[in-house]
Amino acid sequence: MISTVSVDAEPYAFDFDPMQSALLIIDMQRDFLEPGGFGEMLGNDISRLRCTIEPNRQLLAAWRSARLKVIHTREGHRPDLSDLSPAKKKRSRSQTTIGDIGPMGRILVRGEPGHDIIPELHPFSGEPVIDKPGKGAFFGTDLQTILQNCGIRKLIVTGVTTEVCVHTTVREANDRGYDCLVLEDCVGSYFAEFHAVGLKMIRAQTGIFGWVSDSARTLSALTRAGLC
Ligand code: TIU
């Protein structure tokens, strides 16, 4: 019988039943994080994202050794781009845009090298990978069906970027009745200010969108519960 895990967090402790909770890792893809990828090509400082790799790696290792549920997501589109809305296409205004040939194959197209999850956090077989056409992980995907079928009620959310895909997913999850804990050293943004404010927004107003903690406090909660 596994006890409840209680993570020291803001605005107050995040308690979860490990059998009804999942680690949701958002878009840790090569094109966003690797040198020479799409993110860096757009002039972004990828070190702001790369600092999340090691804490995510440690958390994922603990999560897997405790045999808890892990779900990965990837942002991307069908090769024929039929699921890329004209609005999203139009707003990707750089010279090279979604679907074009980039440094690691066609940008944000499923099956291309840059679309893959970085090797440090590569999914194991049996771990669901959600391919999402939008920023949120619920829009246009079967994530909610998977969560319902697995009895998942709470999400520990990590990945990139804090104010875009992580935030959108947390907001979507919140409206669907899921409690979310976001780990600040495991999420990253190309913009330090957006990262800080994004996290502040989640925990404001006694947790309007959820809870914020970090990987150390989460790992120590797992240890206290005898899970790692
Ligand atoms: N995964 C994700 O956040 N996709 C983005 O496009 N993020 C940006 O910050 N651009």
Q: State in Å: Cα 161 to ligand 1 middle.
A: 5
Ligand 1 atom at shortest distance from the alpha carbon of 39? 10
Whether ligand 1 lies within 6 angstroms of the CB of 147 is answered as no
What angle do the packed helices 167-175 and 192-207 form, to 10 degrees? 20
pLDDT given at position 95: 78
Which domains are seen in the chain, by residue range? Answer: 5-224 (3.40.50.850)
Name the token pair of 46.
Answer: 């990828």
Residue having the nearest C-alpha atom to atom 4 of ligand 1: 165
User: Any residues with CB less than 8 A from the CB of 165 and at least 6 apart, and which?
Assistant: 26, 27, 73, 75, 135, 136, 137, 159
Whether ligand 1 lies within 6 angstroms of the CB of 9 is answered as no
- Other CB atoms within a 10 A radius of the CB of residue 69 amount to 21
pLDDT given at position 77: 98
Whether ligand 1 lies within 6 angstroms of the CB of 46 is answered as no
| β-sheet with 69-75: strand ranges across | 129-132, 69-75, 21-26, 154-160, 179-188, 211-213
Single pTM value for the model: 0.98
Place of tokens 């797992």: 222
Whether ligand 1 lies within 6 angstroms of the CB of 27 is answered as yes
Residue having the nearest C-alpha atom to atom 10 of ligand 1: 164
Whether ligand 1 lies within 6 angstroms of the CB of 163 is answered as no
- How far is Cα 161 from Cα 187, in angstroms, rounded to an integer? 7
Q: State in Å: Cα 14 to ligand 1 middle.
A: 27
Torsion of CA 127, 128, 133, 136, to 10 degrees: -90
Q: What are phi and psi of 166, to 5 degrees?
A: -65, -50
Place of tokens 């090569």: 30
Active site members: 27, 132, 165
Whether ligand 1 lies within 6 angstroms of the CB of 165 is answered as yes
pLDDT given at position 1: 59
Q: How many residues does the chain have?
A: 228
pLDDT given at position 94: 73
Integer Rg of the chain from CA: 17
Cβ atoms of 134 and 165 within 8 Å: the answer is: no
pLDDT given at position 2: 66
Name the token pair of 211.
Answer: 């809870």
pLDDT given at position 110: 98
Ligand 1 atom at shortest distance from the alpha carbon of 164? 3
Q: What are the pLDDT tens digits along the chain (228 aa)?
A: 567 999 999 999 999 999 999 999 999 999 999 998 999 998 999 999 999 999 999 999 999 999 999 999 999 999 999 999 999 988 776 778 899 999 899 999 999 999 999 999 999 999 999 999 999 999 999 999 999 999 999 999 999 999 999 999 999 999 999 999 999 999 999 999 999 999 999 999 999 999 999 999 999 999 999 999
